[in-house]
Structure 1
């Protein structure tokens, strides 16, 4: 299988030089994805709503890649404030409760203070 690059249309992909997702072989590597809603050009102030939007964005990238949320094998969560992680748990349960991928969480600043969570995943085709 050849390498396939998937774009969300974000201006940052072009400016920085990355793709929303890369299909390589039997895997899809989805870049760190924030809760930015591309349809409305907005981001919620609520961390749980941002987490949900992260997975909406990820699901779209995976679908374009020929995969799905159910095929996720690895997830990484990045939050500027680790205390914001627990309020996201119901959202994470909704999206990944049956999938149960390997997971890592860490605290780090994100590029924009409005971003409260960033999610990166690896999935199989």
Structure 2
């Protein structure tokens, strides 16, 4: 299987020179995904809405590449405020509670734009069984 690039259609992907996801064999590498709705290029003000949007974008990218959420083996969560951790982790649990990938949560000084409160990246491996 050849390398395949997945895009959300966001103009930022082309301008910044990256893909939402790269499919390489049985692996999918999904780039750090913030809470934007890429159809409207808007983001909710609250971290819960942003986290939900992250997972919607991630799921769509995985599906486009022939993967399912159940294929996720690794997740990294970046938040800009420790006070947002409980809200973010609750949405992570809703989406990944049965999958239980290896995961890391990092509190960072900031993301690219001040309205961004959360960014999530995942790696998936196609299941063979």
Aligned partners of 1:6 and 1:95: how far apart in 2? 21
Q: Deviations over 1:22-71 (max 9, x none)?
A: 00111000000011012333111110111011000000000001001111
Structure-1 separation of matches of 2:82 and 2:74: 19
Structure 1: how far apart are the matches of 2:11 and 2:80? 23
Cross-structure match for 2:17: 17
Superposed, 1:1-125 pairs within 5 Å as 1-108=1-108, 109-125=110-126
Uncovered stretches (5+) of structure 1, i.e. residues with no partner: none
Offset at residue 82 of structure 1 (A)? 2.1
User: For residues 84 and 72 of structure 1, what CA distance do their matches in structure 2 show?
Assistant: 23
TM-score by length of 1: 0.96
SS at match of 2:106: strand
In the alignment of these two chains, the number of paired residues is 125
- Paired with 1:35 and 1:10, the residues of 2 have a C-alpha distance of 13
